[in-house]
A and B are shown apart, each in its own frame.
Chain A
């Protein structure tokens, strides 16, 4: 089992997430050719190495996140909100010394 550092909720078990797929830019519907749609729909790089992919935190924040993962070792290099390049809220909080994780929050 791998743990995914959700930028919104901190590190969680991968069973909480749904794997959506390799990050693939959607063609522009106003200009895309059938060939471009076919490539978007079916073809995958499926690399044995580092890949950028989208996961959905089904049992957590229910947001899409972009994860860089090594497909042979399952090591995760980064996880950030889809479309952003900076750290997510959880990373920003932990950088301030506040874990920001419900697990670390002690007894309620």
Chain B
């Protein structure tokens, strides 16, 4: 295509026209209509020009950043917002997690928070007009010894007090739910019981990212991919804007919604964090006929397994034993993982692993996130998402949007502030977040 002024104007007019119409509404009727007429679907996202000023800049176009932008526009009418990402939408932790959603945490603060997220996920497909394939197939956390069974009981009671569907079940009930699981007493790690959480399940994580991005952009939010923040401007302890590889932006509010790179982004604003970044590896097998109808987690064996709608088994593990920003997989991981999965399900020994990958987890000392204000006025945090960031995407976005729009920290995230480390108010979630997903 030539780039004569006329064609540039033509493109601009076309893009304006499509922006006015908004994205096509996805429906069964439209599917049939477009199929019959052979009409293509319009692009979901545009590539807007970078403006020199926004009311808020969000760093990181993953589920947290996009959800924050979406709720800013949907709940608070703030649309002069930019979401910046050094790569593409959902290319970091949001596209690398194992897509498990649950709310059976250990602390009342955690349970309340993640339950709100599950509730938002339940309506997300309708809210976004985007099929996010949320499948509440039930979530089982296995106990292989007395102490973990005790923690399960503790969690079940905390969960029930908060109105969450969560109970401890025995091996008979487990083998009804997951017939292929080895629950025999002869197993190397015998299954004594499990914490059963029926509303837990899996979701199509890419669809959530794309759905939030499409809906936010429809309301006027600018999503700038391949736009890396190179500096954060702070004057007299107040944030004034950012520099990027595509130009400078002035903004009174900058939100750090990055995972994996939270420390390096905070360094730009001179804010120090208590984070250590570890890779976490995951793998999928070749697809087979559906046989695993629940998410199965074993904390003792450091593994969680679920089957996708496509039939692949998705395995996740605990974080690698030393901090790193490397996203290379390792053979040790695959070996250990295979050994542990076969302890649980010996019958899948012939399944082949298709691929493996790693994502970055910013681990906090108490396994809870860091959300809210910093010593730099206007520079806000939504970081430290360790191994539990995806399931919190909607609630984190909703709460951060409220904080950005009103300037007040919502009660639901008030216990996750950065100051808790100075004031000794840690929210210890290790018992429910360390491996159990």
- Interface set of A (CB-CB < 8 Å, partner B): 1, 14-15, 18-19, 21, 35, 38-39, 42-48, 71-74
Contacts and interface: CB of A to CB of B under 8 A. Distances in A.
Given A1-B331, A38-B421, A43 B273 contact: yes
A19 B274 contact: no
A30 to B, nearest CB: 22
Nearest to B365: A42
A19 B332 CA distance: 17
B274 A44 contact: yes
Given A1-B332, A48-B261, A14 B273 contact: no
Contacts of B274: 42-44
Contact of A47 (B264, B322, B331, B422): B264
B331 A74 contact: no
A46 B323 contact: yes
Nearest to B278: A19
Contact of A46 (B276, B331, B332, B421): B276
B332 A38 contact: no
Interface string B270-299: 001111110000000000000000000000
B141 interface: no
Interface of B: 261, 263-264, 272-277, 321-326, 330-332, 365, 421-422
B322 A19 contact: yes
Contacts of A21: 276
A57 to B, nearest CB: 13
Nearest to A34: B422
A71 B263 contact: no
A16 B356 CA distance: 24
A14 B322 contact: yes
Contacts of A46: 263-264, 273, 275-277, 323
Nearest to A46: B263
A18 B323 CA distance: 11
Given A45-B263, A46-B263, A74 B324 contact: yes
Nearest to B326: A74
Contacts of A44: 263, 273-276
A47 B268 CA distance: 12
Chain B CB count within 10 A is highest, among A18, A19, A21, A46, for A46
A14 B365 CA distance: 23
Contacts of A18: 321
Given A1-B332, A38-B422, A48 B322 contact: no
A48 B321 CA distance: 17
A72 B326 contact: yes
A6 to B, nearest CB: 15
Contacts of B322: 14, 19
